[in-house]
């Protein structure tokens, strides 16, 4: 689901539930999940309680369920339903593994879901300490040959800078800061794809040193070198080949768009573990 479609769905559900403050937060493109769910939690006490809110969350994509588990102070008896929902795509599964405790019997399903995308499998190996005996399974996913037809990737990075680099991307409206992902570190020579069947990308920022700050928005604003395509509705998949420029700058040497289901950059630059 595209980011603007998510906001439209959320606003529709909030409006149907009489959540005017929640709808206002959703329609503010600078507000992310934490702000939206804070507003929703305040209003749900007056409008049917947390169960009504969770019913609406479960009508959205898997990352809504992850956000509810992370940001709502109390999900009541609905925790199991939310955890099951988070295993619906690799990105949400990874973030749930990384940030949500007490996963119980859901841990294995979440790890296996991240393995469906080499990029998220790689992130799981690097960032999740308890892999429940599935390390070899994830390594096999990272080393799997690229998909040249079918889903492809929404975001693909080829690091030809000759050094480490970091990348962040915005899947909200251009210029907003409520839907920033990353930073993701890339080793020298590493090629990794993210977001198979995932969200649109409006902006990408790459860094030659680790971004600084406490929040994704602060890290996004700490420097780096930017690219945007000026039209979030385009929603193609994008590949980026990054090289080193003069005076330590990074250059988007190649920006490769392709439609979902068509071969593109992953076939030209297969995934690698770096050197």
137-194 residue pLDDT tens: 888 877 655 443 334 567 888 999 999 999 998 877 778 888 888 898 898 888 887 7
Domain end point (choices 112, 142, 172): 142
Q: Report yes or no on 149 lying in a domain.
A: no
- pLDDT for res 275: 43
Domain end point (choices 88, 111, 142): 142
Q: Report yes or no on 228 lying in a domain.
A: yes
Average pLDDT over residues 39-66: 86
Looking at the fold, whether 8 and 130 belong to one and the same domain comes out as: yes
Q: Report yes or no on 77 lying in a domain.
A: yes
- pLDDT for res 164: 94
Q: Report yes or no on 275 lying in a domain.
A: no
Looking at the fold, whether 247 and 197 belong to one and the same domain comes out as: yes
Q: Is the pLDDT of residue 19 over 90?
A: no
pTM above 0.85, yes or no: no
Q: Is the pLDDT of residue 30 over 70?
A: yes
Q: Is the pLDDT of residue 233 over 50?
A: no
- pLDDT for res 151: 43
Query: Whole-angstrom distance between the N-terminal and C-terminal Cα of the chain?
Result: 35
Q: Report yes or no on 234 lying in a domain.
A: yes
* Closest C-alpha to 183, from 203, 150, 205, 160: 205
Looking at the fold, whether 49 and 86 belong to one and the same domain comes out as: yes
Looking at the fold, whether 219 and 98 belong to one and the same domain comes out as: no
Looking at the fold, whether 166 and 116 belong to one and the same domain comes out as: no
Cβ proximity of 86 and 65 under 8 Å: yes
Residue 58: give the domain boundaries. Answer: 3-142
The total number of structural domains in the chain stands at 2
Looking at the fold, whether 185 and 123 belong to one and the same domain comes out as: no
Q: Which long-range contacts (CB under 8 A, 24 or more apart) does 249-256 make?
A: 249/208, 249/225, 250/161, 250/165, 250/206, 250/207, 250/208, 250/224, 250/225, 251/225, 252/204, 252/206, 252/225, 252/227, 253/160, 254/158, 255/227, 256/156
Kindly report the CATH number assigned to the domain that includes residue 226: 2.60.40
Looking at the fold, whether 14 and 115 belong to one and the same domain comes out as: yes
Looking at the fold, whether 198 and 87 belong to one and the same domain comes out as: no
What residues contact residue 68 under an 8 Å CB cut-off, 6+ apart? Answer: 37, 53, 54, 57, 75, 82
Looking at the fold, whether 120 and 186 belong to one and the same domain comes out as: no
Q: Report yes or no on 64 lying in a domain.
A: yes
Domain end point (choices 107, 142, 177): 142
- pLDDT for res 266: 64
Q: Report yes or no on 193 lying in a domain.
A: yes
Looking at the fold, whether 91 and 194 belong to one and the same domain comes out as: no
Looking at the fold, whether 11 and 124 belong to one and the same domain comes out as: yes
Q: Report yes or no on 148 lying in a domain.
A: no
Q: Is the pLDDT of residue 241 over 80?
A: yes
Cβ proximity of 139 and 154 under 8 Å: no
Average pLDDT over residues 97-118: 91
**3-class secondary-structure state, position 86:** helix
Looking at the fold, whether 172 and 99 belong to one and the same domain comes out as: no
- pLDDT for res 150: 34
């Amino acid at each position: 689901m595209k980011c603007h479609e998510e906001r439209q769905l959320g606003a529709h559900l909030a409006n149907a539930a009489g959540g005017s403050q929640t709808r206002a937060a959703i329609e503010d493109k600078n507000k992310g999940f934490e702000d939206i769910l804070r507003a929703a939690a305040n209003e749900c006490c007056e409008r049917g309680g947390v169960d009504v809110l969770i019913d609406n969350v479960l009508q959205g994509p898997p990352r809504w369920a992850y956000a509810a588990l992370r940001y709502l102070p109390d999900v009541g008896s609905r925790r199991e339903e939310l955890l099951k929902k988070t295993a619906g795509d690799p990105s949400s599964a990874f973030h749930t593994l990384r940030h949500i405790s007490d996963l119980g019997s859901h841990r294995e399903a979440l790890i296996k879901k991240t393995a469906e995308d080499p990029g998220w499998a790689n992130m799981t190996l690097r960032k999740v300490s308890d892999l429940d005996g599935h390390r070899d399974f994830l390594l096999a996913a990272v080393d799997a040959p690229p998909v040249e037809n079918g889903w492809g990737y929404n975001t693909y990075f080829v690091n030809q800078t000759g050094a480490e680099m970091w990348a962040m991307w915005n899947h909200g409206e251009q210029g907003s800061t409520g839907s920033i992902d990353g930073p993701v570190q890339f080793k020298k020579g590493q090629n990794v794809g993210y977001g198979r069947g995932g969200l649109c990308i409006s902006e990408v920022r790459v860094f030659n040193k680790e971004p600084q700050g406490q929040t994704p928005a602060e890290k996004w604003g700490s420097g780096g070198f930017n690219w945007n395509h000026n039209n979030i509705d385009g929603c193609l998949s994008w590949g980026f080949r990054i090289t080193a420029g003069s005076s330590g700058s990074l250059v988007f040497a190649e920006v490769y768009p392709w439609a979902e289901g068509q071969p593109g950059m992953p076939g030209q630059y297969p995934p690698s573990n770096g050197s």
